[in-house]
Amino acid sequence: MKIAFFSTKSYDKDFFEPYNHQQEVSFKYFNASLTKDTAALARGYDGICVFVNDHLDEETLQHLKEIGVRLVVLRCAGFNNVNLKAAEQLDIKVYRVPAYSPQAVAEHALALILTLNRKTHKAYNRVRDGNFSLDRLQGFNLQNKTIGVIGTGRIGASFCKIMKGFTDSILAFDKYENEKVSDMGVKYVDLDVLLEKSDIISLHCPLTPETKYLIDAASLRGIKKGCMLINTSRGALIHTGDAIEALKEGKLGYLGIDVYEQEEHLFFRDLSENIIQDDHIARLISFPNVLITAHQGFLTKEALQEIAKVTFQNILDFQEGKESENRVLK
């Protein structure tokens, strides 16, 4: 089975290459991201392997169907970039990797919290310049602070477990309560209560029409002044313009993001010699209390190994006609 591999990075090859040409599966790596204009690269292939910023809208899927593609394997958990209704109508099967390493993303959320709080990134740069001053590096203890967790699936639950080592005051909001999270002593509350009471809010929910701009001007008015907001899930959970206004007003005390609504035009590439055209990201970078990483929460050895392993198994399951819980559409 021939698979066209889009948005390829060096680490993708490192972890997928051991599976190449195994059990009649072969990969062809393309650096290009998938759009309606690049879909023709998949001509002659049975399936495609894609990542978070590849576009699988109706038009792209139609092109893929016309050139014989029958399978889409996502090497990620989220599938908001796929028009599932169109895929179903075109009889294109879609598979994902639902839980490659919840700990990887949860631990990255903690890294953002600790870095923003204790300003270790600034201290590192100071010391390299011979500046050993402690001025403006003051942080706060996480002990006894209230942590708000929005979304308590595998990643959110892992984050709750980590934060229990810092504080017993953890609030959660989710449409579907997780019994394992409740058993940790985490208290489920309404969203407005979580926003009002939390010193730190971490987002771990999927992007759906219901959750898009979950954090906007209205919800930001309800947060505790000086609150820290962390997003390692999907960029469009936060209305960026509204967050910028809340930062300017001092209502939002800190912002740490590993995802960004318009990241497809920025992330996973070196733009150090370019003029950044995105005014929102440029404004965010200018804030001293904002920390941005370029969607690296998943980037651990263990996570990449699991992504490659599960993706390869998804291809085999499709090839052999086996049922799989990783199929997005049954």
**Among all residues, which ones are annotated catalytic?**
234, 263, 295
Q: What are the structure tokens assigned to 177, written together?
A: 């309560």
Tell which residue, 326, 314, 328, has the closest CA to residue 23: 314
> Would you say 296 and 121 are in contact if contact means Cβ atoms under 8 Å apart?
no
| Interatomic CA distance for residues 72 and 6, integer angstroms | 11
Tell which residue, 101, 322, 6, has the closest CA to residue 330: 322
Q: What is the CB neighbour count within 10 angstroms for residue 269?
A: 12
Residue 255 exposure: Cα atoms within 13 Å on the Cβ side:
30
DSSP secondary structure string for all residues of 24-51: TBEEEE-SSPP-TTTGGGGTT-SEEEE-
> Would you say 163 and 181 are in contact if contact means Cβ atoms under 8 Å apart?
no
> Would you say 251 and 275 are in contact if contact means Cβ atoms under 8 Å apart?
no
> Would you say 290 and 254 are in contact if contact means Cβ atoms under 8 Å apart?
yes
